[in-house]
Each structure stands twice: as structure tokens, then as C-alpha cells.
Amino acid sequence: MTLAEKLKEIPVSAGVYLYKDSAGKIIYIGKAKRLRSRVQSYFREARPFDRKTDALVRQIADVEVIVTDNESRSVSTRSDPHQKT
């Protein structure tokens, strides 16, 4: 599945997202109340210019999401994304 296809399949739920580079290494971990909206916001053409974000987006080759019950659970999952949710 391509990155573009994965972006379309992201659930609306709260959770944690992990951006990975082409080697599969996690390069960024974020949390969101609405995963789909937050993750897709990085890839929008209309996104405001930000050097740091642009550099990150150029490195993203894959995304993984972990759905949680709520945003507070996302905070603990973000700290340890390999824990069971």
C-alpha cells in the first residue's frame, strides 16, 4: 500500500501517529484527537510554510497509527508507542 493510500485509510479516532523514513526508522511521533485530520494536514498543499515541517514531510515514507480510546490515552501511548493499548 502506498503512503497516499494509507493516508486515505486513516481512522478519524483519537490516537498516535508514527512517521517513518524509507529505512523504516521512526522519525516522528505525534498524538491527535482526530488522526485523519491531523496526519493529512502535513501533506496539504495549502499548509503554511515551515522549514522544519517541510524537512520532516520530505523524509516521510510510511505512517503507522495506533488508535486509542481518547486523547489522554494518546499521551501515554506517545511516550511508549510499543505498549499494548
Report the candidate in 19, 37, 34, 28 with the shortest Cα–Cα distance to residue 67. Answer: 34
Give the confidence band of 85 by pLDDT, cuts at 50, 70, 90: very low
| Residue 38 cell numbers, joined | 491531523
- Residue 47, CA atoms < 13 Å, CB-side half-sphere: 16
Instruction: Give this prediction's pTM.
Output: 0.80
- pLDDT tens across 28-84, in order? 999 999 999 999 999 988 888 889 999 999 999 999 999 998 766 655 555 666 654
| Residue 77 cell numbers, joined | 501511548
| Residue 30 cell numbers, joined | 505525534
Domains of the chain: 3-79 (3.40.1440.10)
| Beta-ladder partners of 30 | 17
